[in-house]
Structure formats: C-alpha cells, structure tokens
Amino acid sequence: MSHMTEDGLLPEKFGPLQGVKIVSTGTLIAQPFAAELAAEMGAEVIQVERPVVGDSGWRTIGVRLRNSADGPAVATTWVQERRNVFCVTLDLTQARGREILLKLLARAEIWMESSKPGTYPKWGLDDATVWKHNPKLVITHVSGFGQTGDPDFVMRPSYDVVGQAVGGMMYQTGYPDPTPPTRAAPWTGDYITALFTLWSSLAGLTYARSTGRGQSIDLAQYEAIHKTLGGTMVEYFQQGVVRERSGNRAQGFQPLDSFQAKDGWVVMGALGEVYNRLLAVIGLDPADPKWQSARTNLESIEGIEFDAMLRGWIGERTVEQVVHAMAQGKVPCSPIMTSKDMAEDPQYRAREMHIGWEDLQAGPVRGIGIAPKFSLTPGRVVRGSPAVGHDNQRVYGELLGLGEVELDSLRRDGVI
C-alpha cells in the first residue's frame, strides 16, 4: 500500500512549499538543516546518506535517546532536525549510485549539497552533466570557503567554529583581552549558513520556474557569516576602525548589558527615549543633565555612577520583580532563559513553540515546534526522524520503480 500522494512521497499536501522537491546530499548541520526547514513547510525532501553508517556525525553527537532498553540510540539534535525528511542511503563513489542520484535529481527542483570543491565533478556529477538530466534544477553548493578563490584556501576543511573565525563573528564575540574570543553557541555559523542556503535556493527556484533555467549557487559559509556583521567593514574601510569585543555591553551608549538580580540574570537595553523611561523606573530624574551625560559617556564619572546605581537597583530585586517593573515602564528587559525557563514560559506555551511528536526511532518526544507561523498554509510535523536507509524501499521501489531483484542487488553490492 502506498503512503504517497500522486506526485510525491508525502502522505498529504501542506505548507507554503507544497510541491517543491528537494534532494539533499550534505552532512551535519548547515545544508541539511536548510532542507529540513523546507520539509517543515511542506517540501518533499530526500536526504541521501552513506550506506550503513549514515550521517555518522549528526546521528550520534550529543545526548542520545532510546525508545527501549535494547533499541538504537539516536542523538537529540537528529530527532529535532530531521523531521519530515525521507532518508535513503547511496554510495556515490559507485557508478550505479551516481546513476540513481541522477534519477532522483531528474525529478527534483533543488539539489543542495555540502562538500569540498571538486568532489562531485570528480565523480562525473559536475553541474553541466546534471543539467543534461534536468535543465531546470537549482544546484546549491555549500562549502566552507566557496567553489572558487585561492586554491589553497578553498580546499581547507571547515567547521562552524572555523567559519565564525574566518567570517569575523568570533573576534567580536566575548569579553575584551585577555579573555579569548568566543564562539557563538550552539552552532550559530552553521545555522546562519542554513538560512542563506534556503533563501538562496528558493530565490533560484523562483527564477527557474519563471524561465525554465536552473542555475548554480555558490554559498561559502564564511561569507554567509560575514554578511551578518553590520557596519563592521564600512567602519574599517572608511575610518580604519577594528571593532573589538565588548562582552554584552553596547559600544557608545548604555545600558545594554546583562545584569545580575537576586536570583538570576536579566538582559536590558534602553536607547533613545527608552532611556528616560528607564530613569523614571529606577527613581532618577530624566531632566538631570548628569544622567543624560551618563548615557553616552560610559567611562565618565557620571557614566560609571549610573552603571553602578542601575546594577545596585537590579541586584536588590528578583528577576521577576525587575522584569515586571521594566515591562510596566516599557523598557525592554528579559530573563536570560535556560531550557527549563523556556519550557515553562507562558509565551512559549501560548504560541505552541514546544510540541510533541512521534519519532520513528526514539518514540514520543517533545521539542521545538514550527516557526514562523503562516496564516493560510502553516507548516507541521508529519513524521519523525528516520533511521539509516529507512526510506530506501519507498523512494527507490515506489518512487523510482526499481524492482526487488535490482534492489537486492544494490543492497548486496553496498550501493544502497
């Protein structure tokens, strides 16, 4: 019995990306997470992994769950980030594996991959060859440093933290010297890259659907990260300024920082007219020139005194008292939330940001829900994360029409 709609693998159509077909052949976070985001919005996503071991990194790293005492262990991040995805295995170093990939790509609209430059051309799967099988295909190449450039640089291996370092994010994250630069956690560079991967792929799809022409997208992780640095490079090119680390404090005005209350931490910011509202909340006169000077002259006597008074006011109160007072005064302020805080927070609950679903390996689980919220075509979770090769029969047998004899041969030879 088929579990597919007439034109695809999903049991029903939903979401704003219904009808979009994506093949994903990357590993770990950045590129596959982009594909999974699309799957949550209704796209059909086929994730290709290596036979037997699968994506050995992301399936096993971190806290692991078991549905039963003797059941397989699966990483919590895999459970969270491979929902709605159909997982198949395929050895692309074998000719028959490459033939099957081309069959998958022939019916797809987007192919996302992450690898060192030259990997797929080495296997005879360069863009031009793939387009002979599907000229409308959008091909998104995700790599650490791009497909072109300095030959030594582009062939270097990369991880999230390397991308953050090269892209400029890491130098600005953390506290001033001698404290070392800090990575943005958990894997911020990878998740930024994932967002660039998805929006650029959908932009390419828009063009392909209107013109019938697919194109290649060259996405370097360090460039995606670099794009999020605001005015950093204008400051350098125009004025020679190297933006330094300042911890959680803003540069040039106060307050914007983390502050310790009696029972925890809050973060607060007050810019422009909000600053005057903050002064009123903590009992200082907004008309006093001393406090107006303090807002931009951080290292002056007034600036230091204001910071000390604000920290003293907050330190005498609980987190709840501080947040309530600031909310009443219309000053942006929040607890710095832990996992427990977020799980119990009424706003998270009201917007159903944490949901339960049935994982195909770990059983009933609860985690992060769907974002953003579409009014007419909301995303949803229709299946949990699959085991290695879980969908081989469905994809290769039902979708591509390969017979049992051929499938047995492919299994025997380690192609799938």
**Residues in the chain, overall count:** 416
Q: Based on the domain organization, do 289 and 356 belong to the same domain?
A: no
Which amino acids are annotated catalytic?
190
Distance in angstroms (rounded) separating the CA atoms of residues 221 and 240? 25
Instruction: Specify the residue for token string 């953050």.
Output: 164
Q: How far apart are the first and last CA of the chain?
A: 22
Enclosing H/E stretch for 294: helix 289-294
Cβ-count burial of 140 within 10 angstroms (0-12 exposed, 13-18 middle, 19+ buried)?
buried
Tokens linked to 344? 């119990």
Taking Cα atoms as reference points, which of 380, 303, 390, 347 lies closest to residue 89? Answer: 390
Same domain (yes/no): 384, 264: no
Secondary structure (3-state) at 247: coil
Residue 214 within a domain: yes
Count of Cβ atoms closer than 10 Å to residue 152 Cβ: 8
104 in the same domain as 34: yes
- The predicted structure's pLDDT at residue 68: 67
CATH of the domain at 283: 3.30.1540.10
Contact present, 58 and 26 (Cβ < 8 Å): no
Task: Please say which residue of 317, 339, 361 terminates a domain.
Answer: 339
Residue 52 domain boundaries? 21-228+351-412
How many structural domains does the chain have? 2
What's residue 250's pLDDT? 87
H helices within 12-168, ranges in order? 30-40, 76-81, 95-106, 119-122, 127-133, 151-154, 160-167
Which CATH number is 92's domain given? 3.40.50.10540
The answer to whether residues 135 and 222 belong to one domain is: yes
Q: Are residues 330 and 387 in the same domain?
A: no
The number of angstroms, rounded, from the C-alpha of 15 to the middle of its chain's C-alpha atoms is: 19
The residue from 278, 306, 339 where one domain ends is 339
Q: Are 220 and 363 contained in the same domain?
A: yes
Q: For tokens 């903050």, what's the residue?
A: 278
How high is the pLDDT of residue 2? 46
Domain membership of residue 282 (yes or no) is yes
pLDDT of 252: 85
User: Are 176 and 44 found together in one domain?
Assistant: yes
* Domain co-membership, 147 together with 271: no
- β-pairing, 363-368 with 354-359? antiparallel
How many angstroms separate the most distant Cα atoms in the chain?
A: 86
- For residues 315 and 376, membership in a common domain is answered with no
Q: Tell me, what's the pLDDT at 56?
A: 85
85 and 168 fall within a common domain: yes
266 in Cβ contact with 323 (< 8 Å): yes
Q: Are 222 and 260 found together in one domain?
A: no
Per-residue pLDDT of the chain (416 residues; tens, 9 = 90+): 446 556 789 989 999 999 999 999 999 999 999 999 999 999 999 999 999 999 988 888 888 888 766 667 899 999 999 999 999 999 999 999 999 999 999 999 999 999 999 999 999 999 999 999 999 999 999 999 999 999 988 889 999 999 999 999 999 999 999 999 999 999 999 999 999 999 999 999 999 999 999 999 999 999 999 999 999 999 999 999 999 999 999 888 999 999 999 999 999 999 999 999 999 999 999 999 999 999 999 999 999 999 999 999 999 999 999 999 999 999 999 999 999 999 999 999 999 999 999 999 999 999 999 999 999 999 999 999 999 999 999 999 999 999 999 999 999 999 99
Same domain as 269, residue 366: no
Please indicate, yes or no, if residue 284 is contained in any of the structural domains.
Answer: yes
Cβ neighbours around 122 below 10 Å, total: 11
Residue 1 has a pLDDT of 40
Q: For residue 233, what are the CA distances in angstroms to 223, 226, 236?
A: 13, 9, 5
Give which of 402, 339, 350, 256 is closest to 63, Cα–Cα: 339
Q: What is the pLDDT, as a whole number, of residue 4? A: 58
Q: Which of 285, 312, 339 is the last residue before a domain boundary?
A: 339
Residues with Cβ within 8 Å of residue 16, at least 6 apart in sequence: 41, 42, 374, 377, 379
Phi, psi of 403 (to 5 degrees): -80, 165
